[in-house]
Structure 1
């Protein structure tokens, strides 16, 4: 009797020519930064975002303290001069003549520049092996300082004529108004020179008052910009915290994302980190200037300007900080110019 044989048909799937299978030989041994995180490189790390949140919270705290304080509510505030009557000022810091306002805030960029220069030239983390005093890190820190200083000049001092603050004031309907419309000169009544004043300083010089427009708070802009520059320069160098150093992501020329630590190694090793976390006199000076800037920001928030004026000062300062300290992480060409602190 013959035995009938049966066969089992097995179908083997053919590989897709358009999507070949990944073999162990082609799988990367270690995931890249772009595979382990979805954070955009030009966004702050969670720790940096927490740090930046201090500024709007300071403005909010100062405004709330002003509204809740009985002494502030009973004081006489002149919106034209943006100041309290000295005789009824609720605090020493509510007087424009206070020493901290006259000798620190009024010349604030001098103190910011002095603290920045002492830190950059004196801190060990900015040294570069074999490159002398002006190594790559210090040169790029200098470029960042020049860019930020140009922004400060354009906003508060000069921008092809009137600074941006004064231009925005006039764009929003403001102008120099005469306290006395006419004055007598040479036996004739002549019109005052207030209409020719296109800046706040010029208006004040001819005896007019700056009124009718939106006044971006120059104090808020200066204090936030200056202190943020110092914090963002020194924290990655002094505090060896992952959230301020390696957690930062940078976009490479090929589009891949890498850690800031990889960028530092690629740039040549990143200087002398031995003892970098120690607080020398230069670091203490920078911390002192940044801390005093924060305190005067709180006083400004409590006693001067409207909430919207302070808010726009915050926005302008944040825009400058973002362009110099966060945007370069996602733009390799821009990063090659300004670099990154601690890299």
Structure 2
């Protein structure tokens, strides 16, 4: 047997395993590779971190105040909402052939958005008190430290009775304020297992957008062909970019998911422990239940 035959046999074995997994999970090959790309991202990010020197690892993207993190990551759900509304607005205005009943389509889309938003809120914002990610941190021994009592007390008034807050004159740490409040008080979130909110948000938003637009995906060949036409028309002053976007609204979502994949890589290189990122990843994957459960 030649080396080429051995290579082909191994490749066929891998393809057979992938096909078996996709059948069991009821996903397409495209969905499989998209979802698997986040695990690849994790492995690549960790490899870069372990094999790089400090000078190579620590740069602009290691600064949490970089513009991409502040504008596109922390406000990720805002951009998710804006792009989804724009995407569906364009499809509805064009009477897309795959949308047979506009009212029913809008009803289903709004319901899925409410569920996706609700899960984002529960994990990162509020879950009958602290959000899920902060509850995990507190329950595993975490707390907010190095906060001055004059700063923390106003936040505790809404959480505790006045008789209790009067006894907090010397408090410098707390287990009942959220991570966002802790940051606003310039405290330190230490001591527990801190699931990565960045990893959760980037994966949650990307998976949600991917499955929402995939049913309308025209295919790479169509997009590449249209890009060539766009370049030709712009060259001769006959076409503008907004016309292309109106014709191919998927390109905006692809751009945003691509940016998020890159920012996820930066998070995997610079921030959190392996376990904290994996927990964020698993909670981010939870949105898959909205799309895969109905297939069984």
Same fold (TM over 0.5): yes
Query: Is the counterpart of residue 301 in structure 1 residue 233 in structure 2?
Result: no
For residue 52 of structure 1, the aligned residue among 31, 35, 38 is 35
RMSD of aligned alpha carbons: 2.9
Q: In the alignment, is the contact (CA less than 8 A) between 1:175 and 1:210 conserved in 2? A: yes
User: How far 1:70 sits from its partner (Å)?
Assistant: 1.2
Q: CA deviation at 1:39?
A: 7.4
Q: Looking at CA atoms only, which structure, 1 or 2, has the larger radius of gyration?
A: 1
Contact 2:199 2:277 survives alignment (8 Å): yes
Residue matched to 1:145:
113
Corresponding position of 1:235? 214
- Contact 2:143 2:175 (8 Å CA) reproduced: no
CA 41–308 in structure 1, closer or farther in 2 if over 3 Å, else same: closer
Partners of 2:137 and 2:175 lie apart in 1 by 15
Q: Cα deviation per residue 1:302-341 (whole Å; 9 max; x = unaligned)?
A: 1111111111110001122x211111112xxxxxxxxxxx
Residue of structure 1 aligned with 2:198, choices 210, 215, 219? 219
Q: Aligned ranges for residues 5-154 of structure 1 at < 5 Å?
A: 43-71=26-54, 90-123=58-91, 125=96, 128-129=99-100, 131=101, 134-154=102-122
The answer for unaligned runs of 5 or more in structure 2 is 1-19, 152-167, 221-244
Answer yes or no: is the 8 Å Cα contact 1:120–1:126 preserved in 2: no
TM-score by length of 1: 0.61
Q: TM-score, normalised by structure 2?
A: 0.70
Segment of structure 1 superposing worse, 227-236 or 143-152 = 227-236
More helix by share: 2
Normalized per residue, the structure richer in strand is: 1
**Contact in 2 for aligned 1:238/1:279 (Cα 8 Å):** no
Q: Compared with structure 1, are the counterparts of its residues 303 and 196 closer, same or farther at alpha carbon in structure 2 (3 Å cutoff)? A: closer
2:143 aligned to 170, 175, 198, which one? 175
Query: How far is the alpha carbon of 1:173 from its aligned partner?
Result: 1.3
Alpha-carbon distance in 2 for matches of 1:195, 1:106 = 24
Q: Report the secondary structure of 1:53's partner residue.
A: helix
Aligned mate of 2:294, from 328, 331, 335: 328
Going from structure 1 to structure 2, the CA distance change for 1:93 and 1:122 (only over 3 Å counts) comes to: same
TM-fit CA distance, 1:158: 0.7
Tell me if structure 2 keeps the 8 A contact 1:176–1:210: yes
Distance 1:221 1:196, change over 3 A: closer
Shift of 1:137: 2.4
Q: Which runs of 5+ in 1 are unaligned?
A: 1-36, 76-89, 184-188, 242-277, 331-343
